[in-house]
Amino acid sequence: MDSGGWIVHGYTNGATATGAGNHGFTCGYAASSCGSWEFEQREQQFISSQIQHRLNEASLIAAISMHLSMDDDDDQSAVYGAAMVDDLLTPSPSTHHAVAAAAGSFPSSSSSSASFRSASVSYSPDTSSSAAAAAATGFYPELSSQVAPLLPPPPLVRNEPQPGRYTAGLPPPPPPPVTGGAFRRYARHLGPRRAPKPGACGQRMFKTAMSALAKMHMETTYRRRQYYYQQAAAAAEAAPPPPSGNNQLQHTMSERKRREKLNDSFVALKAVLPTGSKKDKASILIRAREHIRSLESKLSELEEKNRELEARLVSSPAAKNDKGETAAAEAGDETKREDLVEIEVTTTSGGSGVADAAATGGDQETCCTLNVDLRGGGGGGGMSTTDVVLRTLQCLREQIGDGASLVAMSTSAGSGGRPPSANLTLQLKISMSLSMDDVTMISPRNQMQHTMSERKRREKLNGSFVALQSRPYVLPPGSKLDKTSSILIGAREYMKFLESKLSELEEKNRELEARLVSSPAVVAKNDEEEAAAPPEAGGEVKRERIGSSH
């Protein structure tokens, strides 16, 4: 093992160079390279490690003698630790003594020495945590509970060995007794932790202890400086120190928040990703990237296809747009267009059709011949025969459905077909059941009727259009769409926009809520409908840390 670390080296007699020869401890940092620690028990000292230790940085020479008892009884230790802390927290100059006493007392108490199983114990900000945990919590009073998040100047309650004393004692000072559970998510990690895994236990404790030590020391140093001798020079630089204690906590909190936000962003991002097996943060990022790329490529490809399609469509029907719309287009549009087409229908109704009405012969069925003349208007009648036939038939079918069936038909366009006049002869068989009377005038009448109904329909449609039109969404000005289409598309766009905005808002809301909910706050009952949101992400518990789900 090459891990670096501090190595203590004790020399009771070695360090000759030091003025006072009786002690010369050197502490070095063991570089990562060193394979393993070797400790050598030496002299009387309970621990004296003989190591190849590295002194580095030249500026640091330390003698460290340290005792860490790693026994396993938690409760007692916790309590004890709290007590110790309590003691040690006292800012009085007498601390020296106290410390010494503590140090001295330790060996004796080694049997019941404290063991800090895990951070969870030391933190355990969750109010639901056990009393013991709470007691241990006292160690980090500022973190101990959301109720009393911070106590810049430690309360300095002294010599209160009772467990839980701190958690109980501290609340008063903090002005805002924030009751919520803003840090509940942390509680999940901190609170319910299992046994601290015997192997590596104590490290965290140690760290925590050190942190506390640091804080304490800071406090101490500050005080001492204040009380004892302030050198002027020191004073010059001593200015900043005071904020340290408070700042640190604030910093911690801030960092915590930052992390939280980042994690939230992660889950948010994950939500919009296709569900993948890896819940990894890095995987999320990578997948996000891939997804974006794929989306983009797909999009461009689609765009391409779209362009092509559009081109194809445009090229076919509008091939010769060059001519200009001339007569046709300019005339108003849709509603009027029927007029333009100018179809005139002349029918020869009655049993005796032009040709073979007799042939059909049936009683209940009337045979009639319909003669449609495509009136080749001045120059206008550009409609092809095909169209005429088609439309006629269409109308016929639409209107009378299966009430009439085509028996025979013949069309003939003007010789070249270009002379716009065309003739269409239809021989229809009309079933009696439908209003006998008008049998005679089937076609014109129907046509008329059709026209009327169509007009009505159009009107209705237009009404709907204007209703839709009132929507706020406006298409980009450049779009060359006609009114109706633009309205429709606009509506669609607007809907999309609404939806996206809604989902976005919903998302934000969720997030906000989570944040609020994470606190115990009652929070308004939002549970209304909330159906819309994409359900995929719904399953996961709000606060789930990303990876932990499984």
173 binds its own copies (CB under 8 A): yes
Phi, psi of 205 (to 5 degrees): -55, -45
Chain residues 453-472 in contact with its own copies, contact rule CB under 8 A: 453-457, 460-461, 464-465, 467-468, 471
Long-range own/partner contacts, residues 239-246 (CB < 8 A, 24 or more apart):
244/218, 245/152, 245/153, 245/215, 245/218, 245/219, 246/150, 246/152
Element (H, E) at 404: strand 404-413
| Contacting range for its own copies; rule: CB under 8 A; set: 126-134, 217-225, 346-354 | 217-225
224 binds DNA (CB under 7 A): no
Long-range own/partner contacts, residues 275-282 (CB < 8 A, 24 or more apart):
275/536, 279/546, 279/547, 279/549, 279/550, 280/546, 280/547, 281/546, 281/547
Chain residues 49-78 in contact with its own copies, contact rule CB under 8 A: 49-72, 77-78
Smaller CB separation from DNA, 214 or 467: 214
d(CA 276, CA 57): 49
281 binds DNA (CB under 7 A): yes
| Contacting range for its own copies; rule: CB under 8 A; set: 126-134, 346-354, 359-367 | 359-367
Structure tokens at 280: 């990894």
Smaller CB separation from DNA, 80 or 183: 183
Give the per-residue contact string, 219-258, with its own copies (x = CB under 8 A; - = no). xxxxxxx-xxx-x-xxxxxxxxxxxxxxxxxx-xxx-xxx
Chain residues 339-398 in contact with DNA, contact rule CB under 7 A: none
Query: From the list 201, 367, 372, 487, which residue makes contact with DNA (rule: CB under 7 A)?
Result: 201
130 binds its own copies (CB under 8 A): no
d(CA 494, CA 496): 5
203 binds DNA (CB under 7 A): yes
d(CA 46, CA 40): 11
Strand partners, 430: 366, 404
Query: From the list 17, 20, 522, 531, which residue makes contact with DNA (rule: CB under 7 A)?
Result: 522
Chain residues 72-111 in contact with its own copies, contact rule CB under 8 A: 72, 77-78, 80-85, 87-93, 95-97, 99-100, 102-109
56 binds DNA (CB under 7 A): no
326 binds its own copies (CB under 8 A): yes
d(CA 446, CA 349): 12
Strand partners, 30: 5
Smaller CB separation from DNA, 33 or 485: 33
Element (H, E) at 426: strand 422-431
For residue 416, how many other CB atoms are within 10 A of its CB?
A: 6
Whether the CB-CB separation of 376 and 343 falls below 8 Å is answered with: no
d(CA 523, CA 529): 16
Supply the minimum distance, in Å, between the C-beta of residue 29 and DNA: 8
Residue positions counted in the chain? 550
3 binds DNA (CB under 7 A): yes
Chain residues 22-41 in contact with its own copies, contact rule CB under 8 A: 22-39, 41
Q: For residue 115, give the nearest of 143, 79, 164 by alpha carbon.
A: 79
Smaller CB separation from its own copies, 213 or 348: 213
Give the per-residue contact string, 158-187, with DNA (x = CB under 7 A; - = no). -------------------------x-xx-
Supply the minimum distance, in Å, between the C-beta of residue 192 and its own copies: 19
280 binds DNA (CB under 7 A): yes
Query: From the list 159, 335, 386, 479, which residue makes contact with its own copies (rule: CB under 8 A)?
Result: 386
Q: Which residue is associated with the tokens 């087409």?
A: 341
DSSP β-ladder status, 5-9 and 26-30: antiparallel
| Contacting range for DNA; rule: CB under 7 A; set: 160-168, 256-264, 446-454, 503-511 | 256-264
Which positions lie near DNA, rule CB under 7 A? 3-5, 32, 117-120, 123, 140, 143, 183, 185-186, 189-190, 193-194, 196-197, 200-201, 203-208, 211, 214-215, 239-240, 243, 247-252, 254-256, 258-263, 279-282, 522, 525, 545-548, 550
